[in-house]
Amino acid sequence: MKQVYQSDFVSFQKRLRPTVDDEVKYKRPSKEILLKPYVITGEGKVSFHLHYPRAKHVEIRSYTERYELQKSGEYWCGEFDMGEGFTALFLNIDGSEVITQFLPVGYGGNQLINYIDIPDKDFPIEISNCEHGSVVSDYLESAITGQVERVFVYLPAEYHKKNMKRFPVLYLQHGHGENEACWIYQGKMNFIYDRLIQDKKAVPAIVVMANGMNYEEKETERILNIKKYPEFLLKELIPYIDGKYRTLSDAKNRAMAGLSMGSLQTSIITFEHSELFAYAGVFSGFVRNFISDDQSHLTAEKMNEFKKNIHYFFRGIGSEDQYFSHFAEDDRMLEENQISYERKLYKGEHEWKVWRQCFADFASRIFK
């Protein structure tokens, strides 16, 4: 089994590697090669060796814990139990938080973050002995957002082999403070989907990931406008994807899902426009609008249309999620209105460890 570690793809040498051709082999003096900045031990702990020889104090924190490193020669070291799955890290050197080159870099909380990815024993991500699809970075100039929008598009391996075949499409949304890259770098959805397809547990499909964090800039503040994304998706993104890629463009071959804030966007869009979708997935999320009192997507007429049009409605959440009470209230609302759904509970909090499993379970049930 081969797990995914972003650090595998980073060079840790003190100076640039010289160009090497096939006839020349270099031996590097050991003093010129840095220790790996972190190693995940057999017990699942993280052992750090960060090269900051001039620092006087080095500390790492996650969203919930702080970890002080100890100086050992040129390195700052420590071994800690950080749980499993994706963990965002914030490095503090002599009182200043920095993004370090020695740890993988992702995006969360509206900023660049460092992170580590500790193998999840209950949900390993296996990338060896598997045919892989590709992830395309595409760009769409939007009149609605006023931006050139970057869109990530996952194409299954079969897409490149069968030039006439068309594929269903899943529109997959990130959460608040994240962006279109997060389902790839943090979520590893491409590797998860590759494995599901390889094991014949999922139908090969195109997956589209776009930025749902659309802000309005004021003189003294930035205001998140969650209504822009639905308009962008329906009027610009779906036509763009159907026009450029070999899609099956009817409603029965279109799905939408999202995590956290992306789940609310999914609920609003699929209840408002259920005639355009056949599958909806809400990961650690919301059916009712918790941001405002606007529940216009949940009128009796729209809920009846949702029941008629949506073939499969998935809802999943971590057992220790901070928004579990909202999820339970949505349970009651859906049951009162006789809207059927599959509900799954996972071990975990409001975190990628849960969302990866949500994606796998949802992807294995759609387009069948």
Q: Give all domains of the chain, ordered by start, each with its CATH number.
A: 6-118 (2.60.40.10), 134-363 (3.40.50.1820)
- pLDDT of 144 reads 93
Q: Dig out the tokens for 15 from the structure.
A: 């100076």
Identify any residues that bridge with 194 across adjacent strands, giving them in sequence order: none
Report how far residue 51's alpha carbon sits from residue 91's, in angstroms, rounded to the nearest whole number. 12
Provide the edge-to-edge strand list for the sheet that holds 38-40.
38-40, 46-51, 75-80, 70-72
> Which positions ≥6 away from 167 have C-beta within 8 Å?
156, 158, 159, 204, 205, 206, 245, 246, 247, 248
- pLDDT of 29 reads 55
pLDDT along the chain (368 residues), means of 10: 42 39 51 82 93 96 94 96 92 96 90 91 89 96 93 97 94 94 94 97 98 82 82 97 98 98 96 98 95 92 98 97 95 97 96 96 98
> Which positions ≥6 away from 30 have C-beta within 8 Å?
none
Burial of 221-254, coded b for 16+ CB within 10 Å and e otherwise, reads: eeebebebbbbbbeebbbebbbeebebbbebebb
CB 204 within 8 A of CB 167: yes
- pLDDT of 225 reads 78
Burial (CB count <10 Å: 0-12, 13-18, 19+), residue 64: exposed
Rounded to two decimals, what is the model's pTM? 0.89
- Measured at the CA of 248, the angle between CA 245 and CA 249, to 5 degrees, comes to 90
pLDDT tens-digit series, residues 99-131: 999 999 999 988 999 999 998 988 989 888 999
- pLDDT of 170 reads 98
CB 316 within 8 A of CB 344: yes
- pLDDT of 190 reads 97
pLDDT tens-digit series, residues 233-265: 999 999 999 999 999 999 999 999 999 999 999
- pLDDT of 9 reads 40
DSSP assignment of 260-285 equals: THHHHHHHHHHHHTGGG-SEEEEES-
CB 267 within 8 A of CB 297: yes
- pLDDT of 31 reads 59
Q: Is 366 helix (H, G, I), strand (E, B) or coil?
A: coil
Tell me which H or E stretch contains 330: helix 324-336
The residue among 320, 350, 259 whose CA lies nearest residue 63 is 350
- pLDDT of 14 reads 38
